[in-house]
Amino acid sequence: MAVFKGAGVAIVTPMNADQTVNYDKLEEIIEEQIAGGTDAIIIVGTTGEGSTLTMEEHSKCIKMAVEFARHRIPVVAGTGSNCTATAIQLTQEAEEHGADAALVVTPYYNKATQKGLIAHYSAIADSTKLPMILYNVPGRTGTNIAPETAAYLHKTKKNIVGVKDATANLAETSEMMRLCDGDLELYSGEDGLVVPILSVGGIGVISVVSNIAPRYVHEMVMSFLAGDIEKSRKMQLKELPLVDALFCEVNPIPVKTAMNLMGKEVGPLRLPLCEMEPANLERLKKAMKDFGLL
């Protein structure tokens, strides 16, 4: 059984004015997501500012998300690190807290070889019983999981079940699915490429847009999976201006700004993330108004 099918939200981490984590607000937005049809909560990933959280905050966010979700939908914990030992610790803590799966980004900065990636992911997989979703986002990490590497890991480690693909390289994604004989839980990591990813065997998206339009993204994915490809295609094209605005500055700056514009009061960003440039803020506001969110 897949970790989830449909639209999982790469949820933000709300902050108080003093930049401490606002766990009350986290519970509130998780409730809103579940009510809005979201199919999974992905906690403390890129959008959740996981790289700026302390180890204690990271662990507590996972623990609280599991408690708040109450098994109504899966909770997938971001547990990647550029240090294998740290990634193992985070993954084991996520398992102890009751997470349903781990999302493990490629080691950043180190620029591991494919051999190093195999050793890294194998060590994490051997340390846990959690299903693992590999997160391939070379634009952020400087490291790409080759299709052959993903296929090898999937075939040799039974708990490496899927890939979040944010490569924007459909040829490589297709080759990865071919090498895995289609037996891979493939999730789009690009909001602008959900339907293309679904067309080569994907089963969902880990979405930034879902923070502000959960029901829309859920419906777009489920329409495709139900066979209404034309409806899904039209929905994908309609949301592209909003997607572009949400990524006109580095994620999660625009999406957190968008949520605050909608009155969700998710608080500030942590440095080195900072407030949006005025021109980009106006672009975001326009896209949100055109989409009917403001």
Catalytic residue among 23, 63, 121, 164: 164
Strands (E) across 106-217 are located at 132-136, 160-165, 185-188, 204-207
Q: What three-state secondary structure class fits 290?
A: helix
- CB neighbour burial string for 141-173, b if at least 16 within 10 angstroms, e if fewer: bebbbebebbbbbbeebeebbbbbbbbbbeebb
The pLDDT, as a whole number, for residue 207 is: 98
Residue 47 assigned as binding residue: yes
The pLDDT, as a whole number, for residue 182 is: 85
User: Tens-digit pLDDT profile for the chain (294 aa)?
Assistant: 899 999 999 999 999 999 999 999 999 999 999 999 999 999 999 999 999 999 999 999 999 999 999 999 999 999 999 999 999 999 999 999 999 999 999 999 999 999 999 999 999 999 999 999 999 999 999 999 999 999 999 999 999 999 999 999 999 999 999 999 989 999 999 999 999 999 999 999 999 999 999 999 999 999 999 999 999 999 999 999 999 999 999 999 999 999 999 999 999 999 999 999 999 999 999 999 999 999
The pLDDT, as a whole number, for residue 253 is: 98
Q: 2 and 203 in contact (C-beta within 8 Å)?
A: yes
- CB neighbour burial string for 57-89, b if at least 16 within 10 angstroms, e if fewer: bbbbbbbbbbebbeeebbbbbbbbbbebeebbb
Q: Would residue 187 show up in a list of annotated catalytic residues for this protein?
A: no
Q: Which domains does the chain have, with CATH numbers?
A: 6-229 (3.20.20.70)
State the Cα–Cα distance between residues 251 and 225, nearest whole angstrom: 27
Catalytic residue among 23, 135, 187, 216: 135
Residue 206 assigned as binding residue: yes
pTM over 0.75: yes
Q: Would residue 135 show up in a list of annotated catalytic residues for this protein?
A: yes
